[in-house]
Structure formats: C-alpha cells, structure tokens
Structure 1
Amino acid sequence: MQQFVNTALSGLTLGMVYAAFALALVMIWRSTRIVNFAQAPMAMVTTFVALAVIDAGHSYWLGFGLALLSGLVLGAVTERVVIRPVEGKPEINAVILTLGLFIVLHALASVVFGNRYRSFPAPFGVRGIEVGDTTLGITGFGVFSIAAVLVVMVILVALFRYTDLGLKMRAAALNQEVARLLGVRVGRMLTLGWALASLVGSLAGLLIAGGSLVHPGFMDSIVVFGFVAAVLGGLESPVGAVLGGLLLGLSLSFVSGYVGSQLVALTALAILMLVLTLRPGGLFAPAAQRRV
C-alpha cells in the first residue's frame, strides 16, 4: 500500500511537470496556431539565467523572477526576429524555423554555459513530506509545483474565456484578415502570444530543474512527454493540458514502478498513438473540435 501511494504521489508531481510544459504548448497554439518545438531550449536558457543569478549570491526568488522576465522578452524577440519574416507563408515554414532555433539555442547554451552538469536549488527542499513515521513520496517543492501549475491553468482559462485580450489573441490566430478588419492589432497579439507562451515555458523549466542537475539538454525529453500531454488533453484546452499531464505522469509512474523504467518511453508512444487514433482532437477537447 505504501508503495502504491508513493508511486501515485510521484506520478502526480511528474504529471504536473509535464502539464507545465503542455500549458506552454497550448498557449502558443491558441494564440498563434504554431507548435513551437524550440520551447524546451528557450526554457533551458531562462533556467540558466536564474542559475546565474543564484550563483552570483542573490536569492532564489530573484532568479525565479528574472527567469520569467527573460522568458517573456525571449518569446517576444523570437516572434519579431525569427517568426515575423515568414508570417503569411505556409505554417510549416514557422515550424521548421522553430526546429532550427532548437539546434541554435542548444549550441549557444553549450558555448555560453558549458556542457557540465550543475546543481539547481529548490526553495522548499527535496525531502519527502513526513506524516507521523511515514515519509510520503512528495516533496515541498513538489507541492509548490502542483500549486504553480494550477494557478497558471486558471489564469489561462480566464484569459482566453473572459477577457477581451484573450479573444483578440484567438481571433488573430484563427483569421488574421478578419481580425484586422475588426480593429485587432494582429502583429501585437502574435508577439504577446509568443511572449506569454515563453513565460509559461520558463516556469516549466524552473519546475523541472528544481532540486536536480541541469545542463543544456536537460529539457529535451520533456519535449516528447509535454507534447504527448498536450495532445492527450487537446491543444485547445488549458484544463485538458493539465489533465493530460496528470494522466500521463500517473501512467508512466506506475509503469516505471511496477513494470520497469525501460518501458516508459514505449508507453508514452503507445498512449500518443492511441489518442491520435481514437480522439485526434484530444480526450478533453470540446465535442465540436473532436468532430473536425
């Protein structure tokens, strides 16, 4: 029973980490209709910004805040400099550019930060929470990660459903010509979408790095699992991204704990294939979206 509880708690924390990255993918998709495959190295760069601030003797929270701010700026600059020149062209052009940016950011990070593994601190410790004589398989930082992801999910739902800004961002992503006729500044909305998605991605990087070792490739595997979580929940739904991350995290945790860690990647692939076959729009996408 104790193993089951700890495996479930570990899966819960892992799922929220996947959900954080999936939220960044949902954010960029809903606001620009592009899947940004460079999201992981962008988050990696901002994580190293936080580490540089912390290593300089400043507080964790200052590094945390500056990492989020640098993510916001990096996303805006990426849209303006890299993506804007291919605006109006086939969408595959922008996707290919993000793949190229993935490689470029990796190379630059290796030159600037080096390839060695470095320890990244966690503000609430990485020891399991003790309840009586029992140590649970969840840490204080894990609880913080869960709370942070839930807060971001609520903010994104409120942004896209209940604010004029969110509606303008969705309009700019879905039909730029009509949006311009309605007075929407499409260029600004696309830049804002990239900036906010990069900010959420930066948060994901910080949550993944907390209490572990980081290097320029530490986010690479999260691209796969975060994408699976986003597809599982539906690229249109922030709530679906979180639920998809939870389902994926719990599934992989139980497979790793009871079957074998060598089957984790195969299980993720099987889940992705199953969802794309049965529910191409995602398990939690609106009914109309699934019928498309």
Structure 2
Amino acid sequence: MSYFVNVTLTGLTQGMIYAAFALALVLIWRSTRIVNFAQGSMAAATTFIALALVQAGWSYWLALVVALASGFVLGAIIERVIIRPVEGGNELNAVIVALGLFVALQAGIAIVFGSSFQSFPAPFGLEGFSVGDRRIALTPNGIYIIGAVIVTMLLLVALFRFTRVGLAMRASAFSQEVSRLLGVKVGGMLTLGWGLAAVVGSLAGLLIAGGGFVYPAYMDSLIVFGFVAAIIGGLDSPVGAIVGGLILGLALSYISGYAPRGSSLVTISALVILMVVLLVRPGGLFSSTTARRA
C-alpha cells in the first residue's frame, strides 16, 4: 500500500510539472492560435539565466523573478522580430519558424553557458515527509510545485474570463480584422500573449530544474509530455492543461512503477494515451467546440 501511495504522489508531482508547461502552450494558443514548439528552449534559456545569478550569489527567489521577467522580454522580442513577419502567411510558417528557433536557442545556450550538466538548487527540501515510521514521496519542494501550478492556472482563468485584456487577447487570436475594427490593438495583444506564455514556460523550466541537473536540452522530454498533456486536456483550456498533466503524470508513474520494464515504456505509453484521447475526443477532454469531421 505504501508503494502505491508513493507511486501516486510521484505521479502527482510530475503531472503538475507537465501541467505547468501545458499551461504555457495553452496560453500561447489562446492568445495567438500558434503552437510554440520553441517554448521549451525559451524556458531553458531563462533557467540558465537564473542559475547564473544563483551561482553569482543571488537568492533563489530574486533569480526566479529575474528569470520570469527575462522570459517575458524574450517572448515579446521573439514575437515582434521573428514571428510577426510570418504571421500573415501560411499557418505552417510560424510553426516551422518555431521549430528552427527551438534548435537555435539550444545552440545559443550551449555557446553561452556551456553544454555540461550543472546542478540547479531547489527552493525547498527534497526529503519526503515522514508519516509514522514511513517516509512518503511528497517533499516540501513538491508541495511548492503543486501550489505554484495551481496558482498559475487560477491566474490564467481569471485573466481570460474576468478581464478586458484577456478578452482582447482571445479576440485578436480568433479574428484580427474584426478586433481592429472594435478598437483592439492586435499587435500589442499578440506580443503580450507571447510574453505571458514565456513567463509561464519559464516557471515550468524552473520547477522541473529544482533539485536536478540542467543542460541545454534538459527540457526536451518535458516538451513532449507537456504537449501531450495540453492536447489531452484541450489546447483552449487552462483547467484542461492541469487535468491533462495529472492524467499523464499518474498514468506514466503507474506504468513505470508496476509494468515490467516500465521505465522503457513511458514515452510510448504517452503516445498511446494521446492517440486514445484523440480518437475519443479529438479536441481534448475540455474542448469547448465540436471537432469538424469530413
């Protein structure tokens, strides 16, 4: 029983990390209708900025603030300089540019910060809590991760449902021409969307890095699992990102913990889960629209 509890708690914490990255994908999709495959490399870049500050003697929390601010600036610059020139053309143009940006940013990180593994500090303890004479797989840092992701989700829900800025961002994503006629500054909304998505992605990068090792490509697996989580929940739903992340995290944790050679089945299991969800509900579990069929 204790093994099951520990496997579940591990999946819960890992699922919340997937959910954090899925939230970044949901935010960029809701505000620009673009899937940003470069989100992981952008998050890695800001994580290395935070690491450099910590190594220079700054506190973790101050480095966190600087990393999030750097993420916003990076996202805004990328939208203005790289993405905007191709936004008016074929929809695949932005996706292809994002893939190229993914590779370029990873190379840039390796040039500036090196390609070796580096330890990243955790803001809270990594030792599990004790319950009686047993130790469970839930750490103070794990609680911090869960709390940070839930707060981020609530802020995003509030942004899109209860603020004029969130409404303007969604309107700009769906119909730029109509939005301009209504007085919405579409260019500013798109830039804001990229900046905020980069902030959430930076948070995901810092959460997964805490207490582990980072290198230029350390976000690659999170990109895959975060994207799967976002699709499971529905790319238009912040709540769906959380649910999708938890479903994926728990499922992969159970497979890794109980299936023979489970650790080698994790990636293919994520693909199977994704295929099942897409067959049953193509728009995701929390999609608000009905998929169009041929």
Q: Secondary structure at the match of 1:264?
A: helix
CA deviations 1:198-227 (Å, max 9, x no partner) are: 000000000000000000010001111000
* Pairwise CA distance, 1:73: 0.4
Corresponding residue of 2:100: 100
Q: Which residue type is aligned with residue 284 of structure 1?
A: F
CA-atom RMSD in angstroms: 0.9
Alignment of 1:130-209 (within 5 A): 130-209=130-209
User: Following the alignment from structure 1 to structure 2, what is the Cα–Cα distance between the partners of residues 38 and 17?
Assistant: 17
**Could you say if the C-alpha distance between residues 140 and 57 of structure 1 is closer, same or farther in structure 2, counting changes exceeding 3 Å?**
same
Could you tell me how far apart the structure 2 residues matched to 1:171 and 1:103 are? 31
- Confirm or deny: 8 A CA contact 1:119 1:211 kept in the other structure: yes
CA distance in 2, matches of 1:157, 1:11: 24
Cα distance between partner residues in 2 of 1:110 and 1:129: 37
Distance across 1 between alignment mates of 2:121 and 2:170: 37
CA shift digits 1:87-118 (9 cap, x unpaired): 21111100100000001001111111111100
Superposed, which structure 2 residues align to 1:203-218 within 5 Å? 203-218=203-218
Percent identical residues: 64
Give the residue type in structure 2 aligned to 1:225. F
1:275 is displaced (CA, Å) by: 1.3
Q: Equivalent residues in 2 for 1:1-292 (5 A)?
A: 1-259=1-259, 260-286=262-288, 288-290=289-291
Give distance in 2, aligned partners of 1:166 and 1:104. Answer: 31
One-letter identity of the residue aligned with 1:15 = G
Question: How much has 1:290 moved relative to structure 2?
Answer: 4.5
TM-score, normalised relative to structure 2: 0.97
Unaligned runs of 5+ in 1: none
Give a deviation string over 1:75-95, Cα, whole Å, max 9, x none: 000000100111211111001
| Alpha-carbon offset, residue 59 of structure 1 | 0.5
Q: What is the CA–CA distance in structure 1 between the aligned matches of 2:244 and 2:12, rounded to whole Å?
A: 11
Q: How far is 1:291 from its partner?
A: 6.0
Aligned residue for 2:136, secondary structure, equals strand
The separation in 2 between residues aligned to 1:91 and 1:20, in whole angstroms, is: 26
Query: Moved runs in structure 1, 4+ residues, more than 2 A?
Result: 288-292
What does the per-residue CA deviation read over 1:208-249, in whole Å, with 9 as the maximum and x for residues that have no partner?
000000000100011110000000000000000000000000
> Residue 134 of structure 1: CA displacement?
1.4
Gaps of 5+ in 2: none
Determine the C-alpha separation between the residues in 2 that align with 1:91 and 1:49.
32
Deviations, residues 20-77 of structure 1 (Å, cap 9, x unaligned): 0000000000000000000000000000000000000110111111010000100000
Separation in structure 2 between the aligned mates of residue 5 and residue 174 of structure 1, nearest angstrom: 44
Aligned-partner residue type, residue 271 of structure 1: I
Give me the whole-angstrom Cα distance separating, in 2, the residues matched to 1:126 and 1:291: 47
Residue 133 (structure 1) shift: 1.5
Q: Following the alignment from structure 1 to structure 2, what is the Cα–Cα distance between the partners of residues 134 and 291?
A: 52
Distance 1:101 1:138 in 2: 36
Is the contact between residue 282 and residue 290 of structure 1 (CA under 8 Å) also seen in structure 2? no
SS of the residue corresponding to residue 124 of structure 1 reads coil
CA distance in 1, matches of 2:292, 2:82: 34
Give, in whole Å, the separation in 1 of the partners of 2:206 and 2:132.
31
| Residue 129 (structure 1) shift | 1.3
User: Contact conserved, 1:235 with 1:282, CA < 8 A, in 2?
Assistant: yes
